[in-house]
Amino acid sequence: MKRQYFGTDGVRGPYGGPVVNEPFAARLGLAAARWARAAGAPVGSTVLLGRDTRASGPALLSAVAAGLRAGGLAPVSLGVAPTPAVARAVRARGAPLGVVITASHNPAADNGIKFFASGGLQLTDADEAAIESLLPAPESTPPWREAPLPPEEDATAAYSADLAALLPAAALAGWRIVVDAAHGATAGTTPVVLRRLGAEIHALGTAPDGTNINDGLGSEHPERLAREVTALGARLGVAHDGDGDRCILCDETGAILDGDEILVILALDALRRGTLDANTLVATVQSNLGVDAAIRAAGGRVERTDVGDRHVLARLLALGARLGGESSGHIIDLSASPTGDGLAAVLGVLAVMRSSGLPLSELRRSLRKFPQGTRNLRVAEKKPLADCPAIRAEIAALETELGTAGRVMVRFSGTEPKIRLLAEAGDDSTVMSALHRLESAVKRDLPMPV
């Protein structure tokens, strides 16, 4: 069944728009409750809800809670908490369902709703389609304005303690680290954990006001992070997105590391220690081809999935593997977390730095990237690519020309009205030419915004 409302990472859009609003949130909460009950959740089962720091979060959380209560479940608010903290709490407490109100890296004007199933695992496409099929009619919207919640519980203390235990006590004594929390949900966790481990922290983006999440800071805007790292002589910098399920890093020279570089550092270390389960790293189709070359040279292999960290998780579980992620910085290490966890990924890299004695600028050299280029084009309509003859023809021509020395990819964003183009090849000029050809094909097939 095709999903109408769920995208690559839950339901997301402008707050107050046709989807992300309180009445729809209440209906979605009721549908999720029906789905959980059908899967065996008893009446009165606790559902854990968290949110990021957006001003629209409390109202949407209350509305989802109203729907959950109307469906026979007992919602409990965890307040502001990183997404992985909610997933971890769902697993720890044996809850049948978790909910996070967040739009991740999107601007403050957006918001969204995503769910975790039993065990803190992300929902599958089939799960999300099933929830959509159980949506009540608009006239049956639960009375979300009448949904008081019990006092908020604190999930961040347990989360911070668990994550700090991933490294030895005082492991980071003498380390200077810059942390950019994007004025988001990690403002009260990542700096706390790293300080607990002994690090001297210079914090950015830790004063959320409801409107400044991701505003010029965070994983989407690492420029200030890089400047601060070099100015302060820090060992590294860390930047999260708004809900903390991903991270990017900055080495001591001010160079930015994306998710591909983080994955290779973690995977090569695990291969050396013989702890990379199934000898396999799972990446998405968007990761650079250099990832495959680096892992293959070390005796491992890379499995690729569709874009979306839930697809990575599904492949990890199917293969019995534990490590995977996306170039955007979603890193899943099932030995540390049931979902993508930016702080867990940071701690993993810090462990490699400690054991190897190498700075981040040296560790990142393990990945030699193929030249890559991307373009994101706004479109007025997401027409199926099967109905776009110019795009299909250009992709086929480029794939023939590039052979095994490169690749192209065209896909629609799951959360925004955009089409995303990617090209990799042996040199920059070939990449730029491929992107230009793809963009021209897109403009022939798809209407552009006025």
Catalytic residues: 104
Element (H, E) at 50: strand 46-51
Residues 61, 101 contacting (CB under 8 angstroms):
yes
What separation in angstroms does the CA of 448 have from each of 13, 377, 383, 439? 19, 9, 12, 11
Enter the tokens of residue 264.
């290779």
One-character DSSP codes across 90-115:
HHHHT-SEEEEE--TTS-TTEEEEEE
- Which residues 6+ apart lie within 8 Å of 283 measured at CB? 260, 263, 291, 302, 303, 304, 305, 312, 324, 325, 326, 327
Strand pairing partners for 117? 97
Residue 268 near residue 276, CB atoms below 8 Å:
no
Quick one: which of 91, 221, 199, 64 has its CA closest to 155? 91
CB-CB contact of 96 with 172 (8 Å): no
